[in-house]
Amino acid sequence: MGNGIIVAVANQKGGVGKTTTAINLGAALADSGQSVTIIDLDPQGNASTGLGVAAGDRNPNSYDLLAGDTTLAKAARATAVPNLSIVPATADLSSAEIDISKRARRTHLLADNLKQATGIILIDCPPALGLLTINAMVAAESIIVPLQAEFYALEGLSQLMLTIRQVRQTANPNLRIEGVLLTMSDSRNNLSQQVEADARQTLGGVVFDTVIPRNVRVSESPSHAMPVIHYDPASKGSAAYRALAAEVLMRRKKEPVRG
């Protein structure tokens, strides 16, 4: 192993804030001096677009990294944010599930090819629990689970937890949950408050203290190819993602090996 910290941002539900969290937590950690690489593992390539990697400029990419046709050092490219690089994704990645399914180490490909990783690696997972997300879970030491503060938020969680348990039993016994992150919360909305209360009661200390508010600046920033903390540093969304970065670093200092 290199001395990298690999964290997967995963939830099989789409639209819960995985990509937004990968980009903005990544940028906030980078701002605090950490060397951060985002691996865009979603064929939709939203993290790549959101960080300004043009669609025609995505070689080498995460598919090549998964396939072992490139190295992390070659595939990671700088972004406009100092200390933040990205391994971009292309739509080719959607065929990866089939292409790699016959390989003997099909669930370990990303782990095998991230052995030399250094710094913090954030993997932006696709909205599914297929081979791509499994590869991320096998490679990662921990998982951040964004949970959108809406009615069915907790419903999909048992399936996700089951998959995490299976990965622990088979491939990655030390895989832990870095934290569950409440996203798109609306403090004036009773439902958001209810979901937050439920999540804290059901999941306990694994829920991050930091809650990400619904904030229009957060949703605008990708179209300007910038993390919100640079697009509008004074916004509530920026403050929340900076707080999340601080909380992640603080928790790690306090409890370097949490169960």
H helix intervals, 171-235 = 190-203, 216-220, 228-231
Q: Within positions 140 to 159, which residues make up the interface with Mg ion, using CB under 5 A? A: none
Q: Least CB distance from residue 10 to Mg ion, whole Å?
A: 10
Q: Least CB distance from residue 236 to ligand ADP, whole Å?
A: 9
Q: Least CB distance from residue 231 to ligand ADP, whole Å?
A: 12
| Candidate residues 5, 9, 18, 49; the one interacting with Mg ion per rule CB under 5 A | 18
- Stretch binding Mg ion (CB under 5 A), from 31-39, 42-50, 74-82, 141-149: 42-50
Residue with tokens 């689970």: 145
Instruction: Look at phi and psi of residue 121 and say left if phi exceeds 0, alpha if psi is from -120 to 50, else beta.
Output: beta
| CA 220/CA 228 separation, integer angstroms | 8
Please give the structure tokens belonging to residue 5. 């910290």
Site string for Mg ion, 44-83 (x = CB under 5 A): --x-------------------------------------
**Sign of the CA dihedral with 125 first, then 129, 132, and 135 last:** positive
Please give the structure tokens belonging to residue 52. 């300004």
- Stretch binding Mg ion (CB under 5 A), from 15-23, 89-97, 230-238, 243-251: 15-23
Total residues belonging to the chain: 259
Q: Least CB distance from residue 20 to ligand ADP, whole Å?
A: 3
Q: What does each C-alpha distance from 97 to 11, 90, 100, 106, 228 come to in angstroms?
A: 17, 14, 6, 9, 32
- Provide the binding-site residues for ligand ADP, judged by CB under 6 A: 14-20, 46, 127, 183-184, 212, 214-215, 218-219, 222, 237
Please give the structure tokens belonging to residue 104. 């003997």
- Closer residue to ligand ADP, CB minimum distance, 22 or 70: 22
Q: Least CB distance from residue 144 to ligand ADP, whole Å?
A: 11
19 interacts with Mg ion by CB under 5 A: yes
Give the residues lining the site for Mg ion (CB under 5 A).
Answer: 18-19, 46
